[in-house]
Amino acid sequence: MSNYYLILRTIHVLMMATWFGAALSVSLIWARRKNGEPDTVREYLSGIIGRLEGIAAIILPLTGVLMLLRNTVLLQAGWLRVNIVLGVVAITLSRVSLSKLKKIQAGQEARERSFELVRSGMFFSLIVIIVLAQFKPF
């Protein structure tokens, strides 16, 4: 493997960890909100973490595509095709959940349960992606 591919792969894994960590942080901040803690620092942090999650969600597929262009044999793997579809689903759910969070914080939307359900779907997708990437079952 060339250095270019290894650099892309490293960035890809780091962005996956960043995205997963940021998504988990937003969910933990949300859980603390429901316990009645003050909003000022939490809203500031959720805004920063939300932006970080958005940046990682953009760089992650970009590095994935660049790795596939470098090593097209990977497209024959069935697990990778499933990961790509689940990645698109997870990114979509991430963006939807962050927009719902912004609406809830602005007082425009009162359906907090829908935010939690969308966020849970995103986490499920991310966990399946990690398991498939680790074990490569098909």
Looking at residues 51-61, what average pLDDT do you find?
88
Query: Do 56 and 18 form a contact (C-beta atoms < 8 A)?
Result: yes
- Give the 3-state DSSP-derived string for the chain, with helices as H, strands as E and coil as C: CCHHHHHHHHHHHHHHHHHHHHHHHHHHHHHHHHCCCCCHHHHHHHHHHHHHHHHHHHHHHHHHHHHHHHCHHHHHCHHHHHHHHHHHHHHHHHHHHHHHHHHHHCCCCCCHHHHHHHHHHHHHHHHHHHHHHHHCCC
pLDDT value at residue 35 = 61
Query: Do 5 and 72 form a contact (C-beta atoms < 8 A)?
Result: no
Q: Which pLDDT tens digit goes with each residue over 106-128? A: 777 667 788 888 889 999 999 99
Q: Which pLDDT tens digit goes with each residue over 14-38? A: 999 998 888 888 777 777 766 666 6
* pTM for the structure as a whole: 0.81
**φ and ψ at residue 108, rounded to 5 degrees:** -85, -20
